[in-house]
């Protein structure tokens, strides 16, 4: 006896269910892959010898330990008659040897002692990066610099770009800072990820949070934020939102017209930075003139 034929409508239903199961498996597989690759995506750390480690610009090679004993490496550019000291926290896809001339120029042009350092897993620093470790590294760098120049950590200017901006915000809100300077940084890491992986629940599953938007209100000191309005990595709105939430009254924002995320800073940026720093170090007598 012949088997009863499957009605056409049931065949179509089974076909659509097979398609749905396949799409669901692909979607869940994509989410799982993002979870597994998260640290690789967040920290594309260039390690030694990538970069210009042979640069000889008068810098001092320094080493210091993070809170958990992790050995970190940095460069100190000392000025013969400094007005103050600055800690620079770099972005997630670079190390200190990518821009040695910039660090020297920051020191010489603005009369500052400048410390740049590599997070764990970057450059010559040991270990592997993660949020807690990278933030601890920023804290250790600020404390090392303050101890070196015999000042309080809260007297150090903290400056950061992109991921380094999140480190700078954490350091400034935890320890205080003479001023906070942010370049092309974000409100939180999941918010950035949601821009690029809109199809995935990254706001829920990401382990690296860097919730700067929840921290910056606690910083009451002078703040300078700059952001390119063509930034394709960290949308321009992130910088504006950080400015709105920032707790200080003395805060300035610079829109960099046409600049993308990795474009070099234009001359107008360095002019505004100079004005900002001049105001920071202005004495009462200077203000009266």
- Residues 119 and 162 reside in one and the same domain: yes
- pLDDT per residue, tens digit, the chain (289 aa), is 455 666 777 767 777 888 888 888 998 999 999 999 999 999 999 999 999 999 999 999 999 999 999 999 999 999 999 999 999 999 999 999 999 999 999 999 999 999 999 999 999 999 999 999 999 999 999 999 999 999 999 999 999 999 999 999 999 999 999 999 999 999 999 999 999 999 999 999 999 999 999 999 999 999 999 999 999 999 999 999 999 999 989 999 999 999 999 999 999 999 999 999 999 998 654 545 5
Q: Per residue in 262-272, pLDDT tens? A: 999 999 999 99
Contact 117, 141 (CB under 8 A): yes
Same domain, 272 and 184: yes
Asked whether the whole model's pTM tops 0.85, one would answer yes
| Full residue range of the structural domain in which residue 24 is found | 8-42
Do 15 and 74 have their domain in common?
no
d(CA 89, CA 159): 6
Packing angle, helices 131-148 and 163-175, rounded to 10: 60
Tens digit of pLDDT for each residue in 191-209? 999 999 999 999 999 999 9
Residues 231 and 154 in one domain: yes
Whether residues 141 and 35 share a domain: the answer is no
59 and 145 co-located in one domain = yes
Considering the domain architecture, whether residues 21 and 89 belong to the same structural domain is answered as no
Inside any domain, residue 1: no
- Tally of structural domains, the chain: 2
Q: Domain of 86: which CATH number? A: 3.40.50.1820
- Could you tell me the CA-to-CA distances from 190 to 39, 89, 176, 217 in Å, in that order? 13, 20, 25, 19
Identify whether residues 180 and 59 lie together within a single domain.
yes
């Amino acid at each position: 006896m012949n088997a009863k034929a499957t009605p056409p409508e049931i065949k179509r239903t089974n076909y659509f269910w097979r398609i749905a199961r396949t799409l669901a498996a692909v979607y869940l597989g994509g989410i799982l892959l993002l979870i597994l690759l998260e640290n690789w995506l967040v920290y594309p750390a260039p390690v030694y010898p990538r970069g210009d480690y042979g640069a000889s610009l008068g810098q001092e090679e320094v080493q210091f330990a993070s809170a958990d004993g992790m050995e970190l490496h940095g460069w100190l550019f000392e000025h013969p008659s400094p007005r103050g000291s600055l800690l620079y926290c770099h972005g997630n896809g670079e190390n200190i040897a990518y821009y040695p001339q910039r660090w020297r120029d920051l020191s010489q042009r603005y009369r500052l002692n400048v410390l740049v350092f590599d997070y764990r897993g970057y450059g010559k620093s040991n270990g592997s990066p993660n949020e807690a470790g990278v933030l601890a590294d920023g804290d250790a760098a600020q404390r090392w610099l303050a101890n070196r120049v015999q000042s309080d950590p809260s007297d150090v200017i903290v400056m950061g770009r992109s991921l380094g901006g999140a480190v700078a915000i954490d350091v400034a809100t935890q320890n205080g800072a003479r001023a906070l300077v942010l370049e092309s940084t974000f409100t939180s890491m999941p918010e950035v990820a949601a821009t690029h992986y809109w199809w995935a629940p990254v706001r829920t599953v990401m382990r690296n949070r860097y919730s700067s938007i929840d921290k910056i209100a606690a910083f009451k000191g002078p703040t300078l934020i700059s952001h390119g309005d063509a930034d394709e990595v960290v949308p321009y709105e992130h910088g504006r939102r950080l400015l709105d939430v920032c707790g200080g009254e003395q805060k300035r924002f610079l829109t960099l017209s046409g600049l993308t995320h990795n474009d070099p800073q234009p001359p107008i940026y360095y002019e505004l930075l100079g004005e900002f720093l001049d105001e920071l170090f202005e004495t009462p007598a200077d203000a009266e003139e």
